[in-house]
Amino acid sequence: MDNPKPASGARDNRRAARHPCNIPATIIVDRIRHEVRIKDVSALGCCLSGTPVLEKGDEIICELRTITVVATIAWSSPPLHGANFHREIDVAQILRDKNRSRFMNRRLAGAMAGIPE
């Protein structure tokens, strides 16, 4: 198994900034859909949690809110897996959607409780 994090004192050579998050997503592996969590995301990849067993080199489809992208598993250290996207994505769009969902959830909860906006 590959180590997903650099050893203490080692340099992290990622080419794009990671953004910690806890976003629900769907991956498709061998035509089967799996609900997962995105633990961090960058323009070039993400860290997945709650996935089926995946191995380095497996190809998957990631549905990240409004973005769908093909990815290859770069490392596997269950329960976490790193995925490299086949194309660069707009991380700001995913984080914007995340914040919009939070706002909509609060708004819906307030409406159900009879709290005016």
Give CA–CA dist 107/93, Å, rounded. Answer: 21
Q: What is the pLDDT of residues 50-94, one digit of tens each?
A: 988 899 999 999 999 889 999 999 999 999 999 999 999 999 888
Structural domains of the chain sorted by starting position, each given as residue range(s) with its CATH number in brackets: 19-111 (2.40.10.220)
Give 26-43 pLDDT, tens digit per residue. Answer: 999 999 999 999 999 999
DSSP-derived letter for residue 8 is: T
User: What pTM value is reported for the model?
Assistant: 0.71
Inter-residue contact 60 to 54 (CB < 8 Å) = yes
Q: In terms of C-beta density within 10 A (0-12 exposed, 13-18 middle, 19 or more buried), how is residue 109 classed?
A: exposed
Which has more pLDDT, 51 or 9?
A: 51
Quote the tokens at residue 103: 């706002």
Q: Between vectors from CA 55 to CA 54 and to CA 61, what angle results, nearest 5°?
A: 55
